[in-house]
Chain A
Amino acid sequence: MTTPGADPRPGPLEGLRVVEIGDRGEVAGKLLADAGADVIRVEPPSGARSRHIGPFVADRPDPNHSLSFHARNTSKRSVTLDLGTDTGRDLWRRLVGWSEVVIDSSGPGVLDALGAGYTTFADHVGFVWCSITPFGLTGPWRDWAAADLVNLALGGAMMSTGYEDHDLPPIRPDGEHTIAIANEYAVSGILSALWLRDGDGEGAGGGQLLDVSIHEAASTTTEGSFPNWEYFGRIVQRQTGRHASPDGTPPWQFLCTDGEYILLMGGGVPREKRILDALIEWIAETRPDLAQRLRDPAVEEVLYRDPRSRPDLRRMVSETIGEFVQSRPSQEIYRRGQSLHLPWGHVRRPEENLDDPHWADRGFFWEGEAPGHPTPVRYMGAPYRMTASPVRLRRRPPLLGEHNHEVYVGLLGVEAGSLAGLTKAGAI
């Protein structure tokens, strides 16, 4: 397990100065902050939206104890300010003046209307202002009402996801994925714009506005449905627990004897003859009847010489393997299947990964304090292990306005004695 300070070497973005405002840019801010950027989350005095939606520590609502906030705000600092006040706007302008990157997800035109948007900073040269909005800053849907569910529907992922039974709705996987996707693209955009700024070619020295659209981010994340339409004029139909397809495919997901699901990639048919042979031996240990079905010489012919000749036989193989895995516990299928290089996965609940020692070997989880909880917890780590510039938990998620003094007095030179008055006046 990696603990804060375990690897003191600088992260890849050490020293990058970032301010983040709005509720749809938390993931981008976190990715930069864990990589060493100094990210200041700017919140209204009442706190960011994620501080109010839970789940809360011990289920007691408290803006400092929301796990939705904790999960996406590690390594950041927090300041409060009210953009509706002159002082709040002044502090905001000074923060932007300090920054190299602004992540602004407050909505199209929202900051502009307050005199606090990108256009206000015309003489601040060389900074990158990354706007993240549901539909982008232009276009007929620019001002539409949005939610993750709506964006995932419009982006196309939902029509590919769900069940064979089309009386059941297209499904939105839980987790605000459209916001995650847009934020992942936003980080690539920001780092690319900084690369251009810091180089010596055309565009060097300059910053710019980036306009990231959540709708477009979702729309570019649907894999096979795109070529099926563009090249064949066909649409894909959703199926239970596997890829949508223009034609039906055999099931991939099966219930094992322990009540857990197993995922057999591609229906479980091994891609090589030698793996099929090993699989048949394994099946024969407990289900000789099923093994016998697969020993038909026609099976080998169809699978590995002429795959398109007998779809019925291919389906039979898939169904037979499916019948076998349903007669065994999931862990045996998962571990022993993987020992044969079969890309089979146990359908885990996310929290089950906490107990898998493989992730501990990798130092994936980061141990740290979670405000409101008495003992340290493990946070999700970074999805990349960098050998020379470690990405790590820099600090626990901040309390609301925890760094007002540090930032306003220490960084911006506001007189310490005035902070109490600003708080009382509601400016911060």
Chain B
Amino acid sequence: MTDAATPTAQPQAGLRPLPLQGIRVCDFSWIVAGPQATRILADLGAEVVKVENESYLDSMRIGLQSNSERPTYNGSGFHSNLSRNKLGVTANLHHPKGREVVERLIAQSDVVVENYSAGAFGRMGFSWERLQQLNPRIIYVSLSGYGHLGRDNSYVTWGPTAQAVSGCTQMSGMPDQPPAGWGFSYLDHTAGFYGAIAILMGLHHRRRTGEGQHIDISQIETGMVLCGIPVLDRQINGRDYVRIGNHSRYPAIAPHHTYRCRDDELSDRWVAIVAETDAQWRGLCEELGMAALASDARFATNEDRVRNQGALDAAITERTRDRDAAELMYALQARGVAAGLCQRTDDKMERDPQLRERGFYRTAPHAELGEHRFEGIPIAFERARWRMDRGAPLLGEDTFDVLTRVLDYSVEEVVELQTEAAV
């Protein structure tokens, strides 16, 4: 591939357009799932206006405070990473003029997003019928645990609840141990990823037909779609799902596991190894000095290795236990064997040369937290770009800008709204 055709995330990226420039999103979402959806849109250039007030604050603003002695609404780096590139507006929905601000914003937006419990947004005065009155072309995306439609729509989830009910938690862990689940809110991310897709699909439909719509997303369903194979297996072959740890059942491959290496000062260390072909198997045996194993009849073919996987894993661990995990990864990759260090965040951010060369973590300012790095987005565009302009808005940081620039309020009117605590 020539250089001209290799898309790069930078450095000339500043000259390229942002693909979603011109789209405006009125964003009532909070915690993680909704903000993850709108973060993708904001990174790609949409003007995402985060609407909040102290009575319906994004509670992520409170968590993981940089200075726990002096917590503020703006002191969370966790929140800053989730809401970077967005604008922040406050509006008091209990004040008629504050409500009018929100209604004017909805009228000027392409998309409204919220991830409250089903029905809550309607009770705040923004039913789907009302949204259509305010803006007949609006795309309204609700992201709730069980969805707005259906008998259990009053049930509530956080990421881990949705992981449990969808089946994702059961599909994780050793067969002789309890489910391991996920060590973070995976379905908050995933619901956000599907939320962004749904919004973009809605925009394409509207561009062709002029028609807005309500898109009803259930966080649990975003996990269920990841479990398609066992659900077919149950219906067709009558099998119930059984956990397999880090082994691989479809396809059956061995070795396919994580192996203990030498601990470092921060934690235990492990390397994941997958040797699918005979050449990879031989390469692994050579690197680990296991000539005897390479000629052992129990491990002659992949089928043999799968059958004797317990003995195989034990034999490999004996050889990896005293190795440095990162060095072993590089040595195995040099031999063409699929191997990966179980990276911690410090590995990814300080030592991973791939992420560094591709400019994955970028630095941007935040009015209170200062300059910090942010996680990137995994798409390099050849003739467009994604941005990392600034961290999350301070609470209400852009109220004046949005009200005067977008909603045609005069300076005097904004001052009056502020005096009356309407915004």
Contacts of A388 in B (CB 8 A): 205, 209, 211-213
- Assess the A220–B5 pair: CB atoms within 8 A: no
Contacts of A343 in B (CB 8 A): 145, 156-158, 161
Interface residues of A in 173-193 (CB under 8 A from B): 173-175, 177, 180-182, 184-189, 191-193
B203 within 8 A of A: yes
Centre residue among A53, A55, A214, A349 by max chain B CB count within 10 A: A349
Contact partner, B1, options A137, A151, A162, Cβ 8 Å: A137
Could you tell me the distance between the alpha carbons of A344 and B169 in the complex, rounded to whole angstroms?
Answer: 13
Contacts of A240 in B (CB 8 A): 177-178, 180
B185 within 8 A of A: yes
- Assess the A241–B179 pair: CB atoms within 8 A: yes
- Assess the B164–A377 pair: CB atoms within 8 A: no
Mask: chain A, 136-171; 1 = CB below 8 Å from B; 0 = not? 111111101111011111111111111100111111
A242 within 8 A of B: yes
Question: How many chain B residues touch A (Cβ–Cβ < 8 Å)?
Answer: 165
Main secondary structure of the interface of A (DSSP, over half): mixed
Asked whether A54 and B160 contact (CB < 8 A) given A206-B383, A216-B360, A354-B235, the answer is no
Asked whether A55 and B147 contact (CB < 8 A) given A118-B5, A170-B342, A348-B165, the answer is no
Question: How many chain A residues touch B (Cβ–Cβ < 8 Å)?
Answer: 161
Contact partner, B6, options A12, A54, A138, Cβ 8 Å: A138
Could you tell me the distance between the alpha carbons of A153 and B372 in the complex, rounded to whole angstroms?
Answer: 25
Contacts of B260 in A (CB 8 A): 167, 169
- Assess the A188–B40 pair: CB atoms within 8 A: yes
Mask: chain A, 91-119; 1 = CB below 8 Å from B; 0 = not? 00000000000000000110010000111
Contacts of A182 in B (CB 8 A): 378
Contacts of A138 in B (CB 8 A): 6, 8, 357-358, 380
B257 within 8 A of A: yes
Asked whether A144 and B333 contact (CB < 8 A) given A224-B184, A229-B349, the answer is yes
B381 within 8 A of A: yes
Centre residue among A139, A173, A201, A262 by max chain B CB count within 10 A: A173
Contacts of B146 in A (CB 8 A): 358
- Assess the A58–B237 pair: CB atoms within 8 A: yes
Task: Tell me, rounded to whole Å, the shortest Cβ–Cβ distance linking B144 to chain A.
Answer: 11
- Could you pull out 22 A-B pairs where Cβ atoms are within 8 angstroms? A137-B7, A140-B354, A141-B354, A149-B246, A150-B273, A150-B340, A162-B180, A175-B227, A185-B379, A187-B200, A188-B379, A201-B17, A223-B188, A230-B81, A241-B169, A241-B180, A263-B181, A265-B157, A358-B152, A384-B201, A387-B214, A388-B212
Given contacts A55-B233, A244-B183, 7 further A-B contacts (CB under 8 A): A67-B229, A154-B343, A156-B345, A223-B184, A226-B78, A349-B230, A364-B224
